[in-house]
A and B are shown apart, each in its own frame.
Chain A
Amino acid sequence: MSEYFHSVRLTPERCKGCVNCIKRCPTEAIRIRGGKARITEARCIDCGECIRRCVNRAKTAVTDSLGDLKNYEYNVALPAPSLYSQFSADVPANVVLCGLMQLGFDEVFEVALGAEIVSDATVEYLKRPEAKKPAISSACPAVVRLVQVKFPELIDNLIPLEAPVEVAARLVRGIRCRELGIAPEAIGVWFITPCPAKMTAVKQPLGAEKSSVTGAIGISQIYGDLLKAVAAVPRDANCQRATARGVGWALSGGETAAATAANSLVVDEIHNVSEVLEQVALGKIKVDFIEALACSGGCIGGPLMVENRFVAEHRMQQRLARMRAEDEAHGAAPAKYHSDSSLTEYDRTIEPRPIMRLDEDIFRAMYKVEQMEKTLKKLPGLDCGSCGSPNCKALAEDIVQGEAVETDCIFKLRERVRDLAQEMVGLAAKLPPSLEEREES
Chain B
Amino acid sequence: MNPEQGIVLDYALKGGDFDTAGEASSKIKRILQQIGVRSDVIRRIAISSYEAEMNVIIHAYSGVLKASIYPDRTELVVEDEGPGIADIDLAMQEGYSTAPDHIREMGFGAGMGLPNMARCSDEFSINSVAGEGTKIKILIRHS
Contact = CB atoms under 8 A, between A and B. Distances in A.
Contacts of A367: 1
A369 B46 contact: no
15 contacts: A152-B39, A278-B26, A281-B43, A281-B46, A282-B22, A357-B34, A357-B35, A358-B34, A362-B35, A362-B37, A363-B71, A366-B3, A366-B35, A366-B69, A397-B34
Interface residues of A, number: 24
A360 B35 CA distance: 9
B118 to A, nearest CB: 14
B35 A369 contact: yes
**Most-contacted residue by chain A among B7, B22, B35, B47 (CB, 10 A):** B35
Interface in A327-373: 352, 354, 356-360, 362-363, 365-370, 372
Chain B interface mostly: helix
A354 B43 CA distance: 14
Nearest to B37: A362
A119 to B, nearest CB: 30
Interface string A121-165: 000000000000000000000000000000011000000000000
B39 A352 contact: yes
B1 A153 contact: no
B97 interface: no
Contacts, number: 60
Nearest to A355: B33
A283 interface: yes
Looking at chain A's contact residues, the main secondary structure is helix
B30 interface: yes
B47 A282 contact: yes
B116 interface: yes
Given A369-B7, A370-B7, A362 B36 contact: yes
B42 interface: yes
Given A152-B39, A358-B35, A369-B31, 13 more contacts: A153-B40, A153-B43, A282-B46, A282-B47, A283-B116, A284-B107, A354-B36, A354-B39, A357-B36, A362-B35, A365-B35, A366-B71, A369-B7
Interface of A: 152-153, 278, 281-284, 352, 354, 356-360, 362-363, 365-370, 372, 397
B71 A356 contact: no
Given A354-B33, A358-B35, A368-B34, A363 B47 contact: no
B39 A153 contact: yes
Interface of B: 1, 3, 6-7, 22, 25-26, 30-31, 33-37, 39-40, 42-43, 46-47, 50, 69, 71, 107, 116
B69 A153 contact: no
Nearest to A400: B34
Contacts of B33: 354, 356-357
A369 B116 CA distance: 28
Contacts of B39: 152-153, 352, 354
Given A366-B7, A369-B31, A370-B1, A359 B42 contact: no
Contact of B50 (A282, A356, A360, A368): A282
Contacts of B3: 363, 366
Contact of A283 (B6, B26, B47, B71): B47
A369 B46 CA distance: 18
A206 B46 CA distance: 28
